Amino acid sequence: MAIDPIDVAIGLLLGAGALAYFGFASFAFGAGYQPTPRRAVEAMLRLAEVRPDDALVDLGAGTGAIVFRAARIYRARVVAVEVEPIRVAVLRLRRRLGPFADRIEIRWGNLFGLDFSTATVITAFLWPGAMERLRPKFERELRPGCRVVSHHHPIVGWTAVTHDPENHVYLYRWPEAGGSPPAATRGT
Ligand SMILES: C[S@@+](CC[C@H](N)C(=O)[O-])C[C@H]1O[C@@H](n2cnc3c(N)ncnc32)[C@H](O)[C@@H]1O
């Protein structure tokens, strides 16, 4: 049976589209993939003083460098949000194979659509543009006392409680970090 060149072209096009989506979608959403180095993960979780009663949200969880350590060593409850489906599959597999699966929730989706109001700790290793977009969302949604820990990129306009220059870690505590109060309480 002869293969129709149109079918081949459609197949190639679909393949290229899927490859582009799987490989590069996260660039459009806020950051490409690069796992947080182990030392930086440790510095982030230690500086944020993560405890078993914390609800930690990792924004752009990748393959789980922060997620699994926070659940396994610090015993926190963790929500991992990740936009890229192959990395979500890796996260789900790691959760299934490892201990503390009940402490880890994995969400496939855009972190900008997530409600942050129940988080007590937020971790992020995203690009500066994403941090800039996140700031007003943090200011609207974070509960008082929430710690935000960012690897590599600061939150411009906020004041860090602690900066670990060796591991490129910035720790913020809302609302002491500064920024604008939520519109509802402004001027009241
Ligand atoms: C630099 S990696 C950090 C991975 C992980 N947090 C870690 O520490 O190893 C950034 C991750 O964020 C994901 N990402 C980027 N923009 C996103 C968005 N808008 N929503 C969800 N995930 C996003 C990327 O797919 C990538 O896996």
pLDDT tens-digit series, residues 18-57 = 666 666 666 667 788 999 999 999 999 999 999 999 999 9
Task: Judge whether residue 184 has pLDDT over 60.
Answer: no
Domains of the chain: 38-173 (3.40.50.150)
Instruction: Provide the token pair at 109.
Output: 């989706």
pLDDT tens-digit series, residues 82-100 = 999 999 999 999 999 998 9
Query: Ligand 1 mean position to 26 CA, how many Å?
Result: 7
Percentage of the chain exceeding pLDDT 70: 88
Query: Ligand 1 mean position to 31 CA, how many Å?
Result: 6
Query: Ligand 1 mean position to 87 CA, how many Å?
Result: 9
pLDDT given at position 180: 62
Give residue 156's pLDDT band: very low, low, confident or very high (50, 70, 90): very high
pLDDT given at position 38: 97
Averaged pLDDT, 157-185: 85
In contact, 124 and 61? CB cutoff 8 Å: no
Task: Judge whether residue 112 has pLDDT over 50.
Answer: yes
Query: Ligand 1 mean position to 115 CA, how many Å?
Result: 17
Give residue 187's pLDDT band: very low, low, confident or very high (50, 70, 90): very low
> Pairing state of beta strands 169-173 and 147-151?
antiparallel
Residues having CB within 6 Å of any atom of ligand 1? 26, 29-31, 33-36, 58, 60-62, 65-66, 81-84, 87, 110-112, 125-126
Give residue 152's pLDDT band: very low, low, confident or very high (50, 70, 90): very high
Average pLDDT of the chain is: 90
Nearest ligand 1 atom to the CA of 41 is 8
The pTM (predicted TM-score) of the whole model is: 0.87
Averaged pLDDT, 139-157: 97
Residue bearing the CA closest to ligand 1, atom 27:
62
Nearest ligand 1 atom to the CA of 65 is 9
Strand partners, 79: 57, 105
- One-letter identity of residue 3: I
Distance from C-alpha of 56 to C-alpha of 70, rounded to nearest angstrom: 8
Task: Judge whether residue 186 has pLDDT over 50.
Answer: no
Averaged pLDDT, 121-150: 97
pLDDT given at position 121: 98
Alpha-carbon dihedral of residues 146, 148, 149, 153, nearest 10 degrees? -170
